[in-house]
Structure 1
Amino acid sequence: MTPLSTRQLGEVLGVSQRRVFSLLSAYEAVFGNLPRDKDGVRLFPQEALERLRRARDMVLHRRVSSYRAAFLQLVKAEEDSPLGSEDALRLLQALLDRVGEFPALLALVRHMRKDLDEVRREVAEIRLILHASGFENMARQDAEANALLGTPSLLKGRAQEASPPSSASAPSSEEKDGEEKPKKIPWYRYPMG
């Protein structure tokens, strides 16, 4: 807080002594009395000085008709915004102080996302193995486990691959020639990734 006399405040704001008294009267009517030091000199927090400057500019540019109207408009604007100007400045400064940490945080998030994708893939493989071995049907008997179980995601996409086409029963020309086809790997043993 800055202690200022009315003369000093007039110099800071660039207004006459008479305007300073009008400004202070309107300010204290809207925001309450400013604190004073032991000698009775008003103490001005940075926020109060900023409000005084903004009210002076609003009256100077004829956006409002009086200082009181300017301060009332500032109160309404402050109520609409979730942060006061000092709080917003502190928050912005804290963010600026930590800008250097953002690349490291982004790298950490990418690494965690990669790990999460790998865990999801492993869980899908485990569910597929459990489904193929019949353990999933046993787990469905348990009401708590049943709520968590659904068709394995790997099984959903490959259900069409598992059903043989109608022409698959007829031997191909290669099989007729005596050449053996390599063994087909079951769909649930396909490598992931």
Structure 2
Amino acid sequence: ARALGVSPATLRRYAALWEGVVGPLPRDPRGGRLWPKEALARLQAAREAHLREGLPLEEALARVQGDFPAAGLALPSEGEALALLRALAERLERVEGELRALREENACLREALKALEPPVSEATLRR
């Protein structure tokens, strides 16, 4: 947090964004996140782009990804990878459910709009 000039709470929020966009950060034995130098440099570059260009931080993180090597960033363990895949599958299932609900609502709204349209008279059809 000191290296970036942000509060610990902000760094935790950044870490959650990081893990959603880039992947898990390495952890110390007590479970605390470790920030490799490359990760901090990338986060700082993304934060600067976020502040300078008004980009959402997630987009800025994705944009600067190609500018930094992956060296020094730990790959998740098999258990962590499975947990991430499960979480992604659950999120995908929720999003698909929301999409189904929106499609159903859209169909209902279209039907309601049809009911509001004035009836077509024979005189209109003859024109």
TM-score computed with the length of structure 1 as normaliser? 0.33
Q: Whose relative contact order is higher, 1 or 2, with alpha carbons under 8 Å and at least 6 apart?
A: 2
> Considering only CA atoms, is the larger Rg found in Structure 1 or Structure 2?
1
